[in-house]
Chains A and B, each alone.
Chain A
């Protein structure tokens, strides 16, 4: 899991069936001091985060496990909004 800042939204009209109802956000991974830590990623949101929010994500196979009930083909999911670090 890792920290990131939400920097934008992503809209994709044509996408795989499992992704249909998912909100996509553009995130910049950051370290605990909020410095950028790697390249931008597109992640599915599960906690109603918005641009500017500091969030934490789960990556890889476990990202799909954050989404219910059917399989969603993602490799990054926002699973929490961070109040403080």
Chain B
């Protein structure tokens, strides 16, 4: 998992059915000091209700996400990154 900062929501009406009712956010990878560390990308937020400016924990592994979503591991879920926690504090 990586640390990211939530930049904001993505609104999309025409999308693959797997994304129905899921919140989609732009996230920016950051380092332990909060500085940008890599390219921004999109992650779904299914359960943690993260908002703009939050530091979050992002899982970027499709098989883990299929398990998290209760889809059979051989099932079809075209989602690769998911927010799995809101970070309160990082010390390094």
Contact = CB atoms under 8 A, between A and B. Distances in A.
Partners in one complex: yes
Interface residues on A, range: 20 to 34
Contacts of A3: 10, 26, 42
B76 interface: yes
Contacts of B9: 85
Contacts of B40: 31-32, 37
Contacts of B41: 1-2
Contacts of B44: 1
Contacts of B26: 3, 32, 85
Nearest to B9: A85
Contacts of A85: 8-11, 26
Top 6 nearest A-B pairs (CB, nearest first) are A80-B15, A66-B78, A1-B42, A79-B16, A80-B12, A81-B14
15 contacts: A1-B24, A1-B41, A1-B42, A3-B10, A3-B26, A32-B8, A37-B40, A48-B14, A56-B12, A60-B80, A63-B78, A80-B14, A82-B10, A82-B11, A85-B9
Interface of B: 7-16, 18-19, 24, 26, 39-44, 62, 76-81
Interface of A: 1-3, 31-32, 37-38, 46-48, 56, 58-63, 65-66, 68, 77, 79-85
